[in-house]
A and B are shown apart, each in its own frame.
Chain A
Amino acid sequence: MSQARPKVRTEPVQSATFSKAVNAEIRRAAETGIYDIRGGGSKRRVPHFDDLLFLGASISRYPLEGYREKCATNVTLGTRFAKTPIELAIPITIAGMSFGALSAQAKEALGRGATIAGTSTTTGDGGMTEEERGHSKTLVYQYLPSRYGMNPDDLRRADAIEVVVGQGAKPGGGGMLLGQKITDRVAEMRDLPKGIDQRSACRHPDWTGPDDLEIKILELREITGWEKPIYIKVGGARPYFDTALAVKAGADVVVLDGMQGGTAATQDVFIEHVGQPTLACIRPAVRALQELGMHRKVQLVVSGGIRTGADVAKALALGADAVSIGTAAMVALGDNDPRYEDEYRALGTTAGAYDDWHEGQDPAGISTQDAELAARLDPVLGGRRLANYLGVMTLEAQTIARACGKSHVHNLEPEDLCALTIEAAAMARVPLAGTDWIPGQTPI
Chain B
Amino acid sequence: MTAELLDLAQTPLRDINAALQAQARGGNRTRWEIANPRGSHALAVGLDAPIEVTIRGSTGYYCGGMNKQATVRIAGSAGPGVAENMMSGRVIVDGDASQYAGATGRGGLLVVNGNAASRCGISMKGIDIVVRGNIGHSSAFMAQKGNLVVLGDAGEGLGDSIYEARLFVRGTVSSLGADCTEKEMRPEHLALLDRLLKDAGMDDARPDQFRRYGSARTLYNFNIDNASAY
Q: Which residues of A contact B (CB under 8 A)?
A: 32-34, 146-147, 150-152, 155, 176, 178-179, 190-193, 195-197, 199, 201, 205-207, 212, 215-216, 218-219, 222-226
Contacts and interface: CB of A to CB of B under 8 A. Distances in A.
Interface string B70-103: 0000000000110011010000000000001001
Interface of B: 13-14, 17-18, 21, 41-42, 45-46, 48, 60-62, 65-66, 68, 80-81, 84-85, 87, 100, 103-104, 106, 119, 122-123, 125-126, 141-142, 144-145, 161, 163-164, 220-222, 224, 227
Contact of A219 (B41, B142, B144, B222): B41
B145 to A, nearest CB: 5
Given A152-B66, A219-B62, A226-B14, A205 B46 contact: no
A206 B81 contact: yes
Contacts of A223: 42, 45-46, 65-66
A143 B18 CA distance: 22
Nearest to A217: B42
A33 B68 CA distance: 47
11 contacts: A146-B123, A147-B104, A150-B85, A152-B85, A205-B103, A205-B104, A205-B119, A206-B104, A218-B42, A223-B45, A223-B46
B165 to A, nearest CB: 10
A191 B127 CA distance: 11
Nearest to B85: A150
B158 to A, nearest CB: 15
Contacts of B142: 199, 201, 205
B224 A33 contact: yes
Nearest to B43: A222
Given A192-B164, A206-B80, A222-B14, 9 more contacts: A150-B85, A191-B125, A191-B144, A193-B163, A206-B104, A206-B122, A215-B42, A219-B62, A222-B42
B162 to A, nearest CB: 11
A226 B18 CA distance: 11
B41 A197 contact: no
Given A206-B81, A206-B122, A219-B65, A193 B164 contact: yes
A308 B13 CA distance: 46
Main secondary structure of the interface of B (DSSP, over half): loop
The residue among B14, B81, B126 with the most chain A CB atoms within 10 A of its own CB is B81
> 8 tightest A-B contacts by CB?
A223-B46, A206-B100, A206-B103, A191-B125, A219-B42, A147-B104, A152-B66, A219-B62
Contacts of B66: 151-152, 155, 223
Contacts of A222: 13-14, 17, 42, 45-46
A197 B222 contact: yes
A197 B163 CA distance: 10
B65 A147 contact: no
Given A152-B66, A152-B87, A178 B106 contact: no
A225 B18 contact: yes
A218 B161 CA distance: 30
A444 B87 CA distance: 62
B104 to A, nearest CB: 4
A150 B13 CA distance: 24
A177 to B, nearest CB: 11
Nearest to A146: B123
Given A176-B222, A206-B122, A222-B17, A216 B87 contact: no
Contacts of B61: 212, 215-216, 219
Contact of A212 (B18, B21, B80, B161): B80
A212 B68 CA distance: 23
Contacts of B48: 152
A33 B14 CA distance: 55
A150 B14 contact: no
Nearest to B61: A215
B84 to A, nearest CB: 5
A197 B144 contact: no
Nearest to B165: A191
Contacts of A32: 224
B126 A191 contact: yes
A220 B144 CA distance: 23
Contacts of B18: 225
A205 B123 contact: yes
